A = this chain, B = another copy of it.
Amino acid sequence: MATKTEIRRQELRDKLILIAERTIAHDGLSALRARDLAKDAGCAVGAIYNVFGDLTDLALAVNARTFHRLGADVAEALADAPEDPVEQLIVMAQAYHAFAAGNHLSWRALFDIERAPGEAAPDWYLQEMGQLFTYISDPLAVIFPGRDAEELALLTRALFSSVHGIVLLGLDEASAGVSTEYIDRMIALVLRQFAASP
């Protein structure tokens, strides 16, 4: 049964995630502080630890939502993309870039939580990642019909990592607002060049 306590727990959980989401988006992961969180949520600091193991667990809950939004953005871009598989790759990669640029601090938080060495990635992470990889490998299979599954998987990972690297280093020095255009050009350059000779 759903006891009164359980309901309050769930409500506090949701409220904390919402506040943490706002905090991370505005001021970054490092601005997530237990006392501020408690004040904003109208609860005691200890209450946070009844609902989350620690602040990292809360941040991971936020990351799960962020990753989900990211996946949705990429999926939407793919749905509106032309049929040409190379253009599909470019559109998705630029959607990835647009999300990272428009949600910079939230996106950074996705990678700024280091899990202990040897610890497996969370399930939702693998899930969403697998979805993204499918979006990529489908057009790749059209572009490179001769390659076997293992090579396609390697290509998929490699391309995702490449786009991620371009966006990561590009946004790092995006103090001037100039670089957004350059990042999109780099993405298109790499992907077009990459797919030019099947």
Using a CB–CB cutoff of 8 Å, the interface residues on chain A facing chain B are 117-121, 151, 154-155, 157-166, 168-170, 173, 175, 182, 185-187, 189-190, 193-194, 196-197
Could you give 9 example pairs across A and B, Cβ below 8 Å? A121-B173, A151-B189, A158-B166, A158-B187, A158-B189, A161-B165, A163-B165, A165-B165, A168-B168
* B161 contacts A168, C-beta separation under 8 Å: yes
Docked pose: A167 CA to B170 CA in angstroms: 17
Known pairs A118-B175, A154-B185. 19 more at Cβ < 8 A?
Answer: A117-B175, A151-B189, A154-B182, A157-B169, A157-B182, A157-B186, A159-B190, A161-B165, A161-B170, A162-B163, A162-B165, A162-B190, A163-B165, A164-B165, A165-B165, A168-B168, A190-B194, A193-B194, A197-B197
Docked pose: A164 CA to B151 CA in angstroms: 20
* A164 contacts B154, C-beta separation under 8 Å: no
Docked pose: A187 CA to B154 CA in angstroms: 10
> In the complex, how many angstroms separate the beta carbon of A8 from the nearest chain B beta carbon?
35
Q: How many copies altogether?
A: 2
Chain B residues, CB < 8 A from A194: 190, 193-194
Majority-rule SS of A interface residues: helix
Closest to A121 in B: B173
Chain B residues, CB < 8 A from A164: 165, 168-169
Chain B residues, CB < 8 A from A186: 154, 157-158, 161
Docked pose: A169 CA to B110 CA in angstroms: 13
* A166 contacts B161, C-beta separation under 8 Å: yes
* B161 contacts A169, C-beta separation under 8 Å: yes
Chain B residues, CB < 8 A from A118: 175
Docked pose: A120 CA to B166 CA in angstroms: 19
Chain B residues, CB < 8 A from A120: 175
> In the complex, how many angstroms separate the beta carbon of A141 from the nearest chain B beta carbon?
15
> In the complex, how many angstroms separate the beta carbon of A172 from the nearest chain B beta carbon?
8
